[in-house]
Amino acid sequence: MMESITLDDLTLGYYGHPAVHHLSGVFEAGSMTAVVGPNGSGKSTLLKGITGILRPLGGHIERGSLRISQIAYLPQQAEIDRSFPITVLDLVALGLWHRLGMFGGMKKELWEQAGQALASVGLEGFEQRAIGELSAGQFQRVLFARLLLQDCPLILLDEPFTAIDTRTTADLLDVVQRWHAENRTIIAVLHNFDQVRSYFPKTLMIAREPIGWGNTTDILTPENLQLARQMSEAWDESAAACRRSQG
């Protein structure tokens, strides 16, 4: 059974300084939500909080019965070391980690599943290439193939189409739409508002603090975008997390 993700007065940050401040709302089970806002507005930090990488400075994240191992997370490409000597197929097969465990062996049928995942993102024949040989678009296809193998009900994507060619973006958006049709919950940090309007029914706009959360047509307004810019520019990077009264 799918679970909603509920944020209750959530504050996330680093070394006691908030990057996301007092955010409350619900990612409904099976929903497809874009997270938008100015650079440095806390979007990536929010995804790290949902995955459990960051512990809240305040408030709560309620995942219901959903385990951390049931969350598939795609970080920004800049956070991934592509110099590591690993083949494309081996990287994709890491998507089976939570099913196999540390000492589980890869059987023939599992290698076949990894190959099928590669073929489904248009990279059949790339199995033995080193990941350092790939273009940015090819590498993103590999990462999506790994997500396919993870087979998780909740999928978090951090800027999945940034610096990616048009054809790859279209192909990977098709994969995202298939996930949505399978009733998986998808949360994606995006900058391209045309993509948001065309593909994502729900939008959360933040500028460290929430600007709006709801139907995309209601949230992506000129007024909200201007407010987000103003709030981001006025933010004090040295501010400590405040504590709101619960009374």
42: left (phi over 0), alpha (psi -120 to 50) or beta: left
- Model-level pTM? 0.91
φ/ψ (deg, to 5) at 106: -85, 110
Q: Say if strands 71-74 and 58-62 run parallel, antiparallel, or are unpaired.
A: unpaired
φ/ψ (deg, to 5) at 33: -125, 130
Q: Write down the pLDDT at residue 164.
A: 94
Q: Write down the H helix ranges in the chain.
A: 43-51, 88-93, 97-100, 108-120, 136-150, 166-181, 193-199, 216-219, 222-234
- pLDDT tens figures, 54-107: 999 999 999 999 999 899 999 998 888 888 889 999 999 988 877 665 445 667
Residue with tokens 């959903």: 66
Q: Write down the pLDDT at residue 103.
A: 44
Q: Above 80 in pLDDT, residue 15?
A: yes
What CATH number does domain 1-66+153-247 carry, 3.30.70.20, 3.90.1150.10, 3.40.50.300, 3.40.640.10?
A: 3.40.50.300
Q: Write down the pLDDT at residue 1.
A: 54
- pLDDT tens figures, 123-172: 999 999 999 999 999 999 999 999 999 999 999 999 999 999 999 999 99
167: left (phi over 0), alpha (psi -120 to 50) or beta: alpha
Indicate the domain borders of the chain: 1-66+153-247, 85-150
